[in-house]
Amino acid sequence: MAEIAVNFEERKGLGEYPVASVFSKSISANDTLVVEKRDYPDLIMYVKVDGACDVVLDAVSGVRRKPDGSYAKISVSETIMSFSAAGEQVIRLSNVLTKKWGLHYPFLHLKFTADTTIDLVALPAATTLQEAKIVEDGVGLATEATLSDVKAQTDKLQFDASNFLRTALASDEVGLATESTLSGIKTQTDKLQFDANNFLRAAIASDEVGLATDATLTSELTRVTKPKIYDDTLATPDWVDLTRSILQEAKIVGDEVGLATEATLSNILSQLDITLSTLRDAITAAAPNNKTLADLYEELESIRAQLDATLSSRASESTLAAIRDKSQWAKLDNLDTLLSSRAPKDEGATIIIASAADVSGGVIAALNNFKRWTLYLHTDAAIDITVELSPDGGSSWFLIPESPISFSAAADDVIEFGYDATHIRLTGSNTTPVTAIIRGVF
């Protein structure tokens, strides 16, 4: 057993006080060291060890040495720190020491119970925690009497096994639902049925508003015909598919209502896509009993003119048969063409703003009142292209959020816009050749 040398430094605070310190000191089991706290009433101590060890207040003494060089020690033998492995702790001696009288001695003899390496810093404290008291209250702290009253009320609270507060309603001033009412509601909601996605399933037991039945809707579906429109803007004016003409101008950018899919529409189109000769036969019968529209018109006019005649003056079956057979569909031989083969009208325009040109000085083009338009860009090298729009014929210009369009090397880019503007201006950050083309639709 050896005594470990301790470094002491004099510090000044409320008075001079010593600070004891030892760092990275290897010790053996039962080695001791002396900490001086003088007449201070308490001690703050930090200890770090690299292995399992106990720190014991072995003894205290009133003087450092007796005349013969030994200590006049009074045994304490109380463990004040315990380490099960490497670690560090900070203690206030008055908090861990049960033999409080030991705090009144100026020299403390510490012992380590195992081989280890230690760091230790110890310094005296001006007062013990047990002696601290509030001598003045400037914030209105709760008194012992108040806290006792609060505790008396909280002691009346009851908690279940999960520490949830248990409450009992002694009276109801707001009209809470009773158990019988809630049970009745539950009985009704238990009758509800849900599908695999937890959507409510409902069965219509009676119809008070006259909903269309499946048979009615199926019957209407069989009567659907293919609508057409006569387009006189074509090189050769002709009847075109109205549905297809409309759809080719529309672009769906989002579907929040569950629109029909391409497969469904294709199936419907296959049912609607009939030839004019088929439509003709459906209206006026197929050969050899077919008639031209002129024939039908003449027959109807003849019938109308004779509505005031007597029954005896009506045409006989043989007369009507002769009228029926007097003309054929000679003028409609070339109508056997599918409506889907008709070419749609080109309702757009292409504008070349720049063709491999320097746009650093800015180039301007009119947008021709396009409903929407797409900008096609090609650059031969790295460049930033600023895009500005004018709503008033070029008098004022505004930078769009997508600007600038940046290229780190030669590349292409295609950007679709839907802004309403009269003119567009492109400006390059350098003289790199740029090709810029706009395709718009009306």
Q: Give the E-state strand segments of 259-314 in sequence order.
A: none
Asked whether the predicted pLDDT for residue 327 surpasses 60, the reply is no
Domains and CATH numbers, the chain: 7-128 (2.60.120), 348-441 (2.60.120.260)
Judge contact between 324 and 315, C-beta under 8 A.
Answer: no
Dihedral (CA of 389, 392, 393, 394) sign: negative
Q: Which of 293-297, 301-305, 393-397 has the highest mean pLDDT?
A: 393-397
Q: What is the pLDDT of residue 130?
A: 47
Q: For residue 411, with 0-12 CB atoms within 10 Å meaning exposed, 13-18 middle and 19 or more buried, which class applies?
A: middle
CA–CA distance, 197 with 362 (Å, rounded to integer): 57
Per-residue confidence band for 331, with pLDDT thresholds at 50, 70 and 90: very low
**pLDDT tens-digit readout, 406-430:** 999 999 999 888 888 899 999 999 9
The more confident residue out of 256 and 120 is 120
Q: Please name which of 379, 349, 383 lies closest in space to residue 366, comparing C-alpha atoms.
A: 349
Q: Across the strands, what pairs with 158? A: 166
Residue that is written with structure tokens 């670690």 in the block: 87
Residue that is written with structure tokens 């759809």 in the block: 247
CA–CA distance, 440 with 366 (Å, rounded to integer): 11
Region label for 272, one of left (φ > 0), alpha (ψ between -120 and 50) or beta (otherwise): alpha
pTM here is 0.31
| Bridge pairing between strands 398-399 and 228-231 | unpaired
Q: What is the pLDDT of residue 380?
A: 92
Per-residue confidence band for 109, with pLDDT thresholds at 50, 70 and 90: very high
Mean pLDDT of 76-80: 95
> How many CB atoms are located within 10 Å of the residue 335 CB?
14
